[in-house]
């Protein structure tokens, strides 16, 4: 149907009585659909009838049935299905390779028709609504925003509902929900933030104080009680308090940790300084410091240090503690006694094994210059404080309460809402306090009502912008939440106010500045947590019998390696090929020993050039990746292969057909996972996908569930005793079972003998990896997946990146400069 005919019909109908705008919209949809139907019969149906319908009609069991597939591209599900059809035909993935190839003329006509209508439909929607819906702050962003706005550090994210897991990133607006549960949670989180920001309690003791473990009254009572119970694992010497128990869990019989936790009642940053040494040790031991809370089951390792035999070491750490938090100490990496006996069977007094001796420990904080703290003074403005009879503080105002509330809103409002306040807007917000003030509840409660409303308002919770180009303030917001996960700082807002942020050179300078700021670590951690599933590092707990070497120190080292590796790629603008293989990584002694790489001492991380024969290098062989792609007991090529396809290459496999069970490895060591998969692949419905899934999974079989390299599976049943030692003693927990076979053949028929060969075969896929990584950056930063209308712009960025070897930093710059980023 020609444009002339469309226009003529519209002219006639617009002139008809009672024909309104709503009818016109319906007409356009109908005409577009009719147009597509006509072209489909002329140019698309020949392809469907010749190459598709035999396998995709009502009589076949597939997810696609052309007999009832709609042509109305305004329907999102219909659009996605036709988009998928286009992609598979264009990539020559459909029809399957074993089938007869379609006539090129028929194929090209169908693709051209589909491309035209998919693009036009996608462009029309973007013009009307923008690329993305209005995006909400994620709960991580909400916490960081309030930390930066109010100068606090409390746990707010856990007070909010979990984010949707239906897409890779929680920033995708179309998958973000809002409910009454969210609203109540935002109000509760805002209350907690305000409580922490306005600290008027009595001044705490802030000078350094000695924590005397040896002679402290409560320590002595606890020590004597443990001694009477026969479970003593600590020792008091002439100069120290010695810990032998490397299990830092809290005792089930008491609110104390098993080695005397120190509790906090006032939030803030604290400094802990300890003097410690390795006790009765011939090898280095590890001194650990944990933070925990009665309301949270999870403990957090906040510091670990290597103690060398015969050397006293002073260590220092600053950390933010919240009310209810406590810290406690624990040893790690302790070698066993020659007889293999433990401290529980002997008792600390006669135990000859290794331990950590604490000679001195001081605690200082909260680290404030004055009281009430700076965060309270900054928020409340020009007020005075008066000490009450019980030592707590009250606020003395120089203005009326309403005037002071207006002044507070005038200062923090522009930062909270990420834009200048409109005329009389401070008065409008302050008016919310009027009923409170009239009831006599005072300035503090009146301010709370206003702040509570501000911090749970739609303008605070959402990135609001009209379709089209972002103004400078909206651009500052998008940029800041991309790289800092928080609100724009003063410099970004200053540039936005002057209308300069949309200048490409200014934008480039700001991206470089922001990437160098320590807050960019938030982007690194949040992006990797979701892209590479690192947030699932604790989803499974390794079996203590099969993997006794796994502990909190190793877990933390796993994550640190991947984060530092990615940060280095940004800093040095390294290409995405390093994701496949690299000649370096970041290690400390604990992780280097796990990898079998000699010459790395201490627990501080450093960049290490990998030995030429090492199987490590790139992302795939990092322990964090290997841990999240396995369960705590065994590995399977299926989840690891699926991870490579979906997370790195952007080609996720289809879900298994209905009724097909999963493949579970045999931990008794009787059969290998390869043997079980061979039987699984004999089913025709499974074979096609497993041709793609299994090869990368097989290549990674050389790595166990905690990322250690292996040539034989560990077994709880059959097998040989390991000849290696663990913690200075023979391994008793597991046996060595069947040999590992990491060989295979790619879907293209290329054989490989193991992970080194497989990484070599993956290098030609660098372009595909770069495309997917760029797609991920676009989706994460803009709040919307790459849409059909974006493909031309995305491909332009990809061509530009290819000329620069797909440098990561350059790709971040390119995304920020793109129309996709700079438009709603």
CA–CA gap between residue 651 and residue 73 (Å, rounded)? 24
Q: C-alpha distances in angstroms, 294 versus 211, 219, 366, 670?
A: 21, 20, 20, 44
Angle at 436 between CA 433 and CA 441, to 5 degrees: 130
Burial 409-433 (b: 16+ CB within 10 A, else e): bbebbbbbbbbeeeeebbeebbebb
Contact 370, 378 (CB under 8 A): no
Mean pLDDT within 18-39: 42
Mean pLDDT within 553-558: 97
Q: Which residues contact 253 (CB under 8 A, 6 or more apart)?
A: none
Residue % of the chain over a pLDDT of 70: 86
Using alpha carbons, select from 622, 620, 618 the residue that is nearest to residue 637.
Answer: 620
Dihedral sign for Cα 196, 202, 203, 209, please: negative
Contact 785, 546 (CB under 8 A): no
Confidence of residue 710 (pLDDT cuts 50, 70, 90): very high
Q: Judge residue 681's burial from the number of C-beta atoms within 10 Å of its C-beta, 0-12 exposed, 13-18 middle, 19 or more buried.
A: middle
Q: Which residues contact 256 (CB under 8 A, 6 or more apart)?
A: 222, 250
In this structure, what token pair is assigned to residue 742? Answer: 């990491």
Mean pLDDT for all residues in the chain: 88
Q: Where are the alpha helices (DSSP H) in 169-235?
A: 180-197, 217-229
Confidence of residue 341 (pLDDT cuts 50, 70, 90): confident
Q: How far is CA 677 from the centre of its chain?
A: 31
Confidence of residue 746 (pLDDT cuts 50, 70, 90): very high
Residue found by looking up tokens 């501080």 in the block: 604
CA–CA gap between residue 465 and residue 163 (Å, rounded)? 22
Q: How far is CA 662 from the centre of its chain?
A: 27
Instruction: Tell whether the model's pLDDT for residue 404 goes beyond 90.
Output: yes
Burial 510-547 (b: 16+ CB within 10 A, else e): bbeebbeeebbebbbbbbbbbbbbbeebeeeebbeebb
DSSP element (H, E) containing 669: none
pLDDT in tens, 523-535: 999 999 999 999 9
CA–CA gap between residue 327 and residue 287 (Å, rounded)? 13
Confidence of residue 185 (pLDDT cuts 50, 70, 90): very high
Look at 687 and 622; give whichever has higher pLDDT: 622
In this structure, what token pair is assigned to residue 227? Answer: 């001694």
Predicted pLDDT at 97:
79
DSSP state of 52: I
CA–CA gap between residue 740 and residue 40 (Å, rounded)? 52
Mean pLDDT within 634-644: 94
Confidence of residue 6 (pLDDT cuts 50, 70, 90): very low
Predicted pLDDT at 671:
63
Mean pLDDT within 299-304: 94
Dihedral sign for Cα 352, 354, 357, 363, please: negative
Residue % of the chain over a pLDDT of 90: 72
Predicted pLDDT at 212:
74
Instruction: Tell whether the model's pLDDT for residue 313 goes beyond 60.
Output: yes
Q: Is 7 helix (H, G, I), strand (E, B) or coil?
A: helix
Which range is least confidently modeled, 88-97, 233-242, 369-378, 684-693? 684-693
Dihedral sign for Cα 569, 570, 572, 573, please: positive
Contact 615, 702 (CB under 8 A): yes
In this structure, what token pair is assigned to residue 786? Answer: 């790459």
Contact 178, 161 (CB under 8 A): no
Mean pLDDT within 481-499: 98
Using alpha carbons, select from 353, 340, 358, 360 the residue that is nearest to residue 280.
Answer: 353
Dihedral sign for Cα 572, 578, 584, 587, please: positive
Confidence of residue 730 (pLDDT cuts 50, 70, 90): confident
Using alpha carbons, select from 278, 273, 274, 241 the residue that is nearest to residue 260.
Answer: 241
Rounded to two decimals, what is the model's pTM?
0.90
Q: C-alpha distances in angstroms, 255 versus 225, 252, 260, 325, 772?
A: 14, 8, 10, 12, 49
Instruction: Tell whether the model's pLDDT for residue 136 goes beyond 60.
Output: yes
Instruction: Tell whether the model's pLDDT for residue 670 goes beyond 90.
Output: no
Predicted pLDDT at 175:
93
Contact 627, 536 (CB under 8 A): no
Contact 69, 63 (CB under 8 A): no
Q: Judging by DSSP bridges, how do beta strands 209-210 and 355-364 pair with one another?
A: antiparallel
What does the DSSP assignment read for 16-37? Answer: STT--HHHHHHHHHHHHHHHHH
What does the DSSP assignment read for 81-119? Answer: HHHHHHHHHHTT-SS-TTSPPPPHHHHHHHHHHHHHHHH
Instruction: Tell whether the model's pLDDT for residue 765 goes beyond 70.
Output: yes
Which range is least confidently modeled, 30-34, 222-226, 528-532? 30-34
Mean pLDDT within 425-437: 97
Q: How far is CA 558 from the centre of its chain?
A: 14
What are the backbone dihedrals phi and psi of residue 181, each rounded to the nearest 5 degrees, phi first?
-65, -40
Quick one: the chain helix, strand, coil %, rounded to 5?
Answer: 45, 15, 40
CA–CA gap between residue 332 and residue 285 (Å, rounded)? 6
Q: C-alpha distances in angstroms, 609 versus 577, 587, 612, 617?
A: 17, 10, 9, 9
């Amino acid at each position: 149907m020609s444009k002339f005919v469309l226009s003529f019909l519209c002219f006639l109908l617009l002139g008809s009585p009672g024909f309104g705008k709503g009818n016109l919209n319906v007409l356009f949809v109908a005409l577009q659909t009719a147009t597509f139907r006509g072209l489909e019969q002329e140019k698309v149906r020949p392809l469907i009838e010749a190459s598709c319908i035999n396998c995709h009609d009502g009589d076949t069991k597939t997810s696609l049935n052309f007999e009832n597939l709609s042509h109305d591209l305004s329907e999102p599900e219909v659009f996605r299905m036709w988009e998928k059809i286009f992609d598979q035909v264009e990539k020559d993935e459909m029809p399957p390779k074993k089938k007869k190839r379609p006539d090129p003329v028929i194929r090209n006509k169908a693709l051209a028709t589909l491309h035209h209508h998919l693009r036009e439909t996608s462009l029309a929607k973007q013009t009307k609504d923008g690329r993305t819906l209005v995006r909400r702050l994620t709960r991580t962003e909400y916490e960081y925003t309030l930390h930066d706005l109010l100068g606090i550090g409390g746990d707010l994210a856990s007070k909010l509902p979990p984010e949707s897991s239906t897409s890779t990133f929680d920033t995708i607006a179309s998958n973000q929900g809002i409910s009454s549960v969210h609203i109540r949670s935002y109000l509760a989180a805002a209350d907690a933030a305000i409580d922490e920001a306005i600290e008027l309690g009595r001044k705490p003791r802030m000078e350094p104080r000695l924590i005397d473990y040896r002679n402290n009254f409560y320590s002595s009572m606890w020590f004597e009680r443990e001694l009477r119970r026969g479970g003593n694992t600590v020792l008091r010497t002439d100069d120290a308090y010695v810990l032998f128990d490397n299990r830092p869990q809290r005792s089930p019989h008491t609110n104390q940790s098993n080695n005397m936790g120190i509790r906090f009642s006032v939030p803030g940053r604290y400094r802990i300084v300890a003097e410690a040494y390795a006790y009765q040790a011939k090898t280095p031991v590890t001194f650990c410091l944990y933070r925990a809370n009665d309301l949270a089951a999870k403990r957090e390792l906040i510091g670990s240090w290597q103690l060398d035999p015969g050397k006293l070491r002073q260590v220092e750490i600053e950390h933010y503690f919240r009310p209810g938090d406590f810290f406690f100490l624990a040893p790690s990496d302790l070698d066993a006694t020659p007889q293999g006996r433990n401290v529980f069977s002997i008792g600390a007094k006669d135990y000859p094994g290794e331990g950590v001796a604490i000679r001195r420990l001081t605690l200082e904080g909260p680290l404030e210059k004055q009281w009430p703290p700076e965060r309270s003074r900054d928020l409340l403005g020009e007020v005075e404080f008066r000490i009450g009879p019980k030592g707590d503080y009250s606020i003395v105002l120089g203005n009326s309460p309403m005037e002071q509330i207006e002044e507070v809103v005038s200062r923090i409002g522009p930062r909270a809402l990420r834009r200048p306040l409109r005329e009389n807007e401070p008065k409008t917000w302050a008016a919310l306090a009027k009923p409170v003030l009239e009831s006599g509840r005072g300035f503090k409660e009146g301010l709370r009502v206003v702040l509570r409303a501000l911090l749970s308002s739609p303008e605070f919770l959402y990135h609001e912008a009209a379709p089209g180009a972002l103004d400078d303030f909206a651009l500052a917001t998008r940029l800041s939440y991309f790289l800092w996960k928080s609100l724009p700082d003063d410099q970004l807002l200053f540039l936005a106010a002057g209308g300069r942020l949309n200048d490409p050179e200014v934008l480039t300078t700001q991206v470089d500045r922001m990437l160098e700021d320590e807050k960019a670590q938030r982007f690194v951690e949040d992006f990797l947590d979701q892209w590479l599933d690192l947030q699932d590092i604790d989803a499974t707990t390794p079996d203590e019998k099969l993997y006794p070497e796994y502990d909190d120190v190793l877990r933390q080292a796993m994550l640190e390696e991947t984060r530092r590796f990615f940060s280095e790629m940004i800093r040095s603008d390294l290409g995405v090929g390093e994701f496949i293989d690299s000649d370096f990584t970041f290690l400390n002694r604990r992780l280097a020993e796990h990898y079998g790489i000699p010459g790395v001492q201490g627990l501080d991380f450093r960049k290490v050039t990998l030995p030429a024969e090492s199987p490590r290098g790139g992302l795939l062989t990092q322990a964090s990746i290997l841990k999240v792609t396995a369960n705590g007991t065994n590995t399977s090529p299926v989840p690891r292969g699926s991870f490579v396809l979906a997370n790195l290459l952007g080609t996720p496999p289809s879900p298994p057909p209905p009724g097909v069970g999963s493949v579970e490895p045999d931990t008794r060591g009787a059969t290998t996972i390869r043997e079980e998969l061979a039987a699984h692949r004999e089913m025709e419905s499974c074979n096609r996908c497993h041709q793609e899934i299994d090869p990368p999974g097989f290549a990674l079989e050389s790595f166990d569930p905690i990322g250690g390299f292996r040539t034989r599976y560990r077994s709880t049943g059959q097998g040989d005793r390991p000849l290696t030692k663990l913690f200075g003693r023979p391994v008793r927990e597991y046996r060595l079972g069947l040999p590992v076979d990491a060989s295979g053949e790619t879907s293209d028929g290329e054989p490989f003998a193991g992970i080194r060969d497989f990484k070599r075969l993956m290098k030609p896929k660098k372009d595909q990896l770069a495309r997917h990584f760029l797609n991920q950056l676009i989706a994460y930063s803009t709040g919307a997946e790459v849409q059909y209308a974006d493909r031309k712009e995305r491909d332009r960025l990809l061509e530009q990146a290819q000329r620069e070897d797909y440098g990561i930093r350059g790709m971040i710059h390119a995304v920020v400069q793109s129309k996709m980023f700079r438009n709603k």
